[in-house]
Chains A and B, each alone.
Chain A
């Protein structure tokens, strides 16, 4: 018989097995993958998040779509595209693009910043369940910001005529990098820290 303290039990992120916390290096007893170190994970999460936020700036400055119509070249940024769609009456699509490329990334930055600060400093101590929900939400809705990148990819593959053509702009790369790094940041964040700091 062994005595186990319930609060020291940890979950393997890969296979979901319950493990005992044995100090610095934890190896899952079922799938033998290493369980991430909770103190190192915050730093990694910050690093990825800051990279994502920096990449988000050029993603909004440079044109994401460059359309050529009868010799006239015109570039449109993410926000410019949304405004164009809104003015032309495509409200649902304008809303989808607005949500996927502006609301979701910004919301993700804010939620991750809030979570990362709150595990270090006493902030919203009594809102444990809300924080877990927030974290889970960022993981679920996060990938949906890729919509804009895919839309650009589809449009540029589809509109390839002699008179009219659409080419992807610089912002696509920046935006894809931004989304990729925020996803990494959310994965690197350890939800265990929410529990411990409440």
Chain B
């Protein structure tokens, strides 16, 4: 934990992955373009291949224990060039686009949803598949956004824990994918892989 913190503080250039995070990289050179700018990924987070994270507008700080699935785009487009902070234990399902101001803990972003740059997400929020959040808003804790009209309701409990899924992925993914070695710049690793 201490190590993570220190790494986050020193993050100021390039792509930083704390030990314990699993970042899959696809086996081609264009893959490096997927991580642009200053990105920090916390312990225990799992990034599937083909995840696009762009920190050109400012830092992107991803916390611990997140699952980020294929084709997810996380894009810092904040107007004040501030840091986009993503909390812990969130799940980003296939194809969602996240440009949120801040994201708390234990949220689920279902497939193909979109969270715009003026939105702040609390804790335990579920954004349903193909739901678009574009208006400036703060989504309160335990909200569920679902359906084609983006209906909102409050759940009683936070979404079920993804710990077992994360454990499964961290066991399976290294068997079939090339992984990004923590604490090394991505360019170097890609070069090693291609050798």
Q: Do A and B share a complex?
A: no
B contact set with A: CB distance below 8 Å: none
A contact set with B: CB distance below 8 Å: none
